[in-house]
Amino acid sequence: MSLPEIASREEWRRARQELLVKEKAATRARDALNAERRRLPMVEADTEYVFEGGDGKATLLDLFEGRQQLVVYHFMFPPEWEAGCRSCSAFLDQVGHLAHLHARGTTFAAVSRTPYTRILPFKARMGWTLPWYSSYGNDFNVDFEATLTHEGELVERPGVSCFLRDRDRVFHTYSTYERGLDGLGSTTSFLDLTALGRQEEWEEPKGRASAFGAPAGSERIRYHDEYEE
């Protein structure tokens, strides 16, 4: 196994400072990229998908749970599998408490192609409480390119799709797949994918910090049991 070189504390400090300059540049570049993502146009998602979840049948609008934004994790679990994808399961294991997303008017949910009767026992086995819906029988995963056709066969890939609601109209704002999921899992990482972002005053483009009345600013962060819906 190759290990880092051994250095004195002062040598380490100098090297760390040099790296810090690059880290700050990467942070500024990431902020600029996030702002460019928020400037993407959006496409109306007007297909009448029917999902199945814990409360029975649901539309795409229902998945928002009344909030302004929806982040969907495309969980690889096709109908022919007996259990969900191990990598997707590891991804969901790292997702934090959803109250912090909810406080920013954003709902997180998983969607898989397998029937809900298979989702339910696997979800219980994993100990997850987050919303998870079946898209069995509809083209949701295909339409949002999480299920592809390769040599006549359907092929799954993990992904995240973001949606924005304007009253009863739903719009698709962003999707990313596979390596695009690297580093996701935290509240801010999911918000950075959305059209409204973290909803803080410093973000570009301006005018979205208070969109739809969502709370904005780090000073609004609470313990997860202190938020009010």
Express each pLDDT in 175-201 by its tens digit: 999 999 999 999 999 999 999 999 888
At residue 63, the pLDDT reads 98
pLDDT 10s digits, 120-143: 999 999 999 999 999 999 999 999
pLDDT 10s digits, 152-167: 889 999 999 999 999 9
3-state secondary structure of 100: helix
At residue 218, the pLDDT reads 67
At residue 24, the pLDDT reads 98
Residue 206 has pLDDT above 70, yes or no: yes
Higher pLDDT, 221 or 131: 131
At residue 222, the pLDDT reads 85
At residue 210, the pLDDT reads 61
Rounded distance between C-alpha atoms, residue 194 and residue 208, angstroms: 11
Q: What is the mean pLDDT of residues 53-80?
A: 97
At residue 102, the pLDDT reads 93
CB 49 within 8 A of CB 141: no
Matching residue, tokens 């690059």: 22
pLDDT 10s digits, 72-124: 999 999 999 999 999 999 999 999 899 999 999 999 999 999 999 999 999 99
Residue 214 has pLDDT above 70, yes or no: no
At residue 216, the pLDDT reads 58
Residue 213 has pLDDT above 60, yes or no: no
116-126 vs 86-93: helix axis angle to the nearest 10? 50
Q: Give me the long-range contacts of 48-55 (CB less than 8 A, separation at least 24).
A: 49/135, 49/138, 49/139, 49/140, 50/137, 50/138, 51/111, 51/133, 51/134, 51/135, 51/138, 51/140, 52/115, 52/116, 52/133, 52/134, 52/136, 53/116, 53/131, 53/132, 53/133, 53/134, 54/131
**CB count, 10 Å around CB of 82?**
8
